[in-house]
Amino acid sequence: MNFSKNLVLWVIIAVLLAALFNLFQNSSTPRGASSYAYSDFLSEVDAGKVADVTIQGDSINGHFTDGRSFSTYAPPDVNVVPQLRKANVRISALPKSEESQTFWNYVLSWLPMLLVVGVWIFFMRQMQSTGGKAMGFGKSRARLLTEKTGRVTFEDVAGIDEAKQELEEIVEFLKDPQKFQRLGGKIPKGVLLVGPPGTGKTLLARAIAGEANVPFFTISGSDFVEMFVGVGASRVRDMFEQGKKNAPCIIFIDEIDAVGRHRGAGLGGGNDEREQTLNQLLVEMDGFESNEGVILIAATNRPDVLDPALLRPGRFDRQVVVPNPDVLGREKILKVHMRKVPLGPDVEARVIARGTPGFSGADLANLVNEAALLAARAGKRVVTMAELESAKDKVMMGAERRSMVMTEEEKRLTAYHEAGHAIVAVNEVESDPIHKATIIPRGRALGMVMRLPEGDRISTSRAKLKADLAVAMGGRLAEELVFGADKVTTGASSDIKMATDIARRMVTEWGMSDKLGPLTYGENDQEVFLGHSVTTHKNISEATAKTIDEEVRGIVDGAYARARKTLTDQLDLLHVLARGLLEFETLSGDEIRKLLRGEPVIRDLDVDDPGAKSRETPPPPRRSSVPTTGIKPTFGPGAEPQPGS
């Protein structure tokens, strides 16, 4: 609509410019007449070649004796007429067109002012049409969703069945309210969708808009607050007025924590513009005036910072948790995203779902898209399991940086570092199974050992945490045992940071310290501005803080000792695995276990290039040149992925 308006405006401007151009080009000069200098004109008169002339002011038009037309402009000359008469030229005269000259001079004098007024009117109309009205900052920016293309329904939502069921009930209430009102039930006034990023909160709202045959208004929490005082509250009032006019309807506020944050938080105090907006929102949701038929749905991933008055029943009657999907949910989500992707016969969504624990719906959508891009880059017509596995590694571990130049010494050190992680992970009973180990730089890491759990885990045991700590220490210890204490590198920085964080949380949050007992320490250490307080403070004494540090140090030292014992006892396996990594650069979990059992690794195709085109003549099998040993390590189950860089 705006494009058509602008097109018409530019067409009108072009027509006016063309008319002005033609006007100033159009003169009293006859069409097809030649312009002559005045001196040449007099010469032609003396030569007897001029048949007739028409004099109009300082303009002289006429014809030669051969029928050609001419025109010229004459200066004030009283002798021109006698000269024409002497040459027997037929003379005609016309009055000077003063009225037209006066009119256009008048128009030209006012043209700059008219242009300024026209430009001002144009910009005012543009501001009004785009909603950014110069005098209408208080108007709501909620958009009425009427999209027909790209429509989302509940069929497009998978893996979050409980949340979908809660919202399907609201849509059903809007379609058939009598079914619930017969038993005295009332429609919920508000529903708050809570969950981590990427789990499908906004997608659920879009599905409601696609399913409900009622007006659906959508707005972001940040749209309420502007630089002008009172604008947010005014927009809230205007939004609910629009809702009442279109009742029954649904209003969706995305990222409501931008406007619904706990009052008194931050430095703004009671005069904060955000607080005025929140107060108006509270009144509109459940105040003296009723909002029958207006359902408010909001989404946030920070429910801890929302004001308690906003969360009470009567405002948000329901809080629907949208968690990360389990293995069955991930399988359903993958099938939804695979609908528009041509798949090879070897693709199994269940296998991918088992290998992607902790992935959100957005992560899975990104995984399928990355696999499609890899297949297109390789010139394939379908997406196979190889592309999906490669895309999974890219999402979990980062993109490969094969162009990064590493010296042989750095490669060898990285190989032993990752082999140390892998050896300890294989021998720790509570550790997760190894998915893949690589010394190809990925993301910000020079190498990585990726472990994947065998199933979804709701909670983590103390034994599992200790196993993870030992695995984290394995990389640094392998460097120390093989190259010496003076040759250890900064490559273990992320491992040390992760181990310190886990150990500290074991002591201060999870009550896993025998000396300090099941108590929580440092509960007020959350970030300023995000919680309820302006400043942080410690609620522990100096002696307790010292004890906490000692306990954290003791837990990390214990993990270090466990890893040292494992690697010292299996130093020959460490060398075997490191040589395997140097030869193949990337090893799968099965290949690692083969090497540790003394079996050779045989490959038909390069596993590092799953997107490579199949060769017409298969290459000979590739047998590992790594010397093997018959020592068998202890194997055990595992749980969540931890990169060891």
User: Which residue carries 């006859």 as its tokens?
Assistant: 30
The yes-or-no answer on residue 418 being catalytic is yes
Tally the residues of the chain. 645
Structure tokens at 332: 């359903």
Is the separation of the CB atoms in 464 and 637 below 8 Å?
no
Structure tokens at 565: 């014992």
> How far apart, in whole angstroms, are the C-alpha atoms of residue 592 and residue 597?
9
Strand blocks (E) in 44-89 = 50-56, 59-64, 69-73
Output 486-493 pairs: Cβ under 8 A, ≥24 positions apart. Answer: 487/413, 489/413, 489/417, 491/413, 491/414, 491/417, 491/446, 491/447, 491/645, 492/417
Bridge partners for 448 per DSSP = 438
Structure tokens at 491: 């490559």
Structure tokens at 569: 């006892």
Q: Which of 418, 428, 479, 480 is catalytic?
A: 418
One-letter amino acid for residue 527 of the chain: E
DSSP 531: S
Report how far Cα 66 is from the mean position of its chain's Cα atoms. Answer: 80
Backbone phi and psi for residue 319, each to the nearest 5 degrees, phi listed first: -115, 110
The contacts of residue 30 (CB under 8 Å, 6+ apart) are 61, 69, 71
- Residue 152's nearest CA partner among 217, 200, 209 is 209
**CA-only gyration radius of the chain, Å:** 41
> How far apart, in whole angstroms, are the C-alpha atoms of residue 312 and residue 188?
12
Bridge partners for 261 per DSSP = 306
Q: Active-site positions? A: 418
